[in-house]
Structure 1
């Protein structure tokens, strides 16, 4: 992977963090905002980087992959340099570091809001709000906020998360900002582990719950996992949806076939991909992002 941050830039970033905290507000105010959330085909491709805030540092076989902040920022800058990548989804620390590095002009920025359900904790389903709030997202001139809505019928902590997400949807809508809700149905196994349920019935139920949050759904988007029966799942909503993408493979045609049914659903408006493009096995971040972009482009443009 190419070096995107020189030693001088890195030391300058550390100095500004220490001696000039006001530079963050200045960078927020100076950022050129994108003219549109969508590309010419009505789609949006975002890179997600809010995992560390939940203590989720693993990528692949490396349990500390995302612990190296300079490496993470460089990988994000490589991804953001791709012309098809619309922007980033991140927590305040990461967004602000990218701002200070000058990487977010003309990019969509979605602020991650609830990261309290720490990865590996017994109370991981308690996804309380610990990062951006609606007022902060407006003040920082971001395009919207993202919230995690994990659902487990046997965990009472989910009730508070549902209520908090509903409040956040309302507060973002009052400001005419996107509320990107990620509804994920889980089931706890006998050994205590949580397994994401990706069948049509579970996903449709989660989508129905997320769609009704808040006093209006006018600004609500949904962030949903790929599934085997997208026709059934995406009949559950009229809201715009972005899909959690898988790992792009070397065979574009095979990849389009595996994602195609989901990406071709009328409600689907793009992809949001995180560690799978930031930490590819071969280390080629730009090439992996490009492969994902080609999949999305092939679906939206059709046969060439």
Structure 2
């Protein structure tokens, strides 16, 4: 059945590319804006544009677009799921599928730091910009900021993120910043998930832009989360990260972190879309249940 729906996307892209803008214009937006009083559960699907296709032990799991979209539609249809985070190609596929009605939609902005490349820290804004997010009727923009003390490309990436924060805030749109302290280990970028490193990353991210009024953080669950999250007054969403070997332990760590005052929900991608048992609905329902 989904093969037929996917074929309709392809047909629309070939014969009526204006259908994307039409779908965006008529979409029913969420009744609660991003950053409202309720806690949020968002599904993330911006990994492919950065060439990060692995999920668990499947190196090319996210390379099958039809399969990814089917999983996204299944997740978005579950009760308690508020919306999605993605790059323009995925958001537009979901628009054509009619899967974003009444949902919060966050556009992913900087995907130029391709996974595994020598220029990975030079994370340029190659997807949405603030103007496109506003004109498409989206609710905010997300950016990744990896701070490598030994890579000079960190500075222009940080400046670009600061400009994006200001541009989004000028339109009263959420700026979701995902910060890390990163280092190259054996030639590959690795994020430092120690409490001290995450504390430092959060303090830097909190000060980006001309105002922090519309800034939210997207952070991993690490040790000593109470101390880490005390570093900022900004609201934060927990990121799901890779597919966990022990899902129950991962969900338990999320539940503990959700009790902290600045933690307002979850943004999870591969851990919900590609669970080890392939039960997308079950994984999503468990995450929603944590709230």
TM-score between both structures, scaled by the size of structure 1: 0.91
Q: CA deviation at 1:84?
A: 1.1
Match of 1:244 among 239, 260, 276: 239
Q: Which residue of 2 aligns with 1:301?
A: none
Q: CA deviation at 1:40?
A: 9.0
**Is residue 2:206 matched to residue 1:211?**
yes
Q: Which residue of 2 aligns with 1:11?
A: 7
Question: For this pair of structures, how many residues does the alignment match?
Answer: 289
| Rounded Cα–Cα distance in structure 2 between residues aligned with 1:153 and 1:227 | 21
Q: CA deviation at 1:250?
A: 6.5
Q: Which residue of 2 aligns with 1:193?
A: 188
Range moving further from structure 2, 219-228 or 10-19: 10-19
Q: CA deviation at 1:261?
A: 3.0
3-state SS of 1:270 partner: strand
Q: Which residue of 2 aligns with 1:179?
A: 175
Q: Which residue of 1 aligns with 2:55?
A: 59
**Is residue 2:282 matched to residue 1:262?**
no
The answer to whether the 8 A contact 1:227-1:262 is kept is: no
| Rounded Cα–Cα distance in structure 2 between residues aligned with 1:40 and 1:290 | 21
**Is residue 2:279 matched to residue 1:284?**
yes
Range moving further from structure 2, 242-251 or 104-113: 242-251
The equivalences for 1:1-304 within 5 A come to 5=2, 7-37=3-33, 42-189=38-185, 191-245=186-240, 251=248, 257-294=252-289, 296-297=290-291
Range moving further from structure 2, 72-81 or 241-250: 241-250
Q: CA deviation at 1:194?
A: 2.4
Q: CA deviation at 1:198?
A: 1.5
Q: CA deviation at 1:256?
A: 5.6
Q: CA deviation at 1:245?
A: 2.7
Q: Pairwise CA RMSD of aligned residues?
A: 1.7
Range moving further from structure 2, 37-46 or 138-147: 37-46
Q: Pick closer, same or farther for the CA change 1:38–1:180 going to 2, 3 Å.
A: closer
Deviation readout 1:73-96 (Å, 9 max, x if unpaired): 000000001111100000000000
The answer to whether the 8 A contact 1:37-1:44 is kept is: no
Q: CA deviation at 1:42?
A: 2.4
In structure 2, list runs of 5 or more residues that go unmatched.
none
3-state SS of 2:230 partner: helix
| Rounded Cα–Cα distance in structure 1 between residues aligned with 2:37 and 2:88 | 30
3-state SS of 1:165 partner: helix
Q: Pick closer, same or farther for the CA change 1:238–1:135 going to 2, 3 Å.
A: same
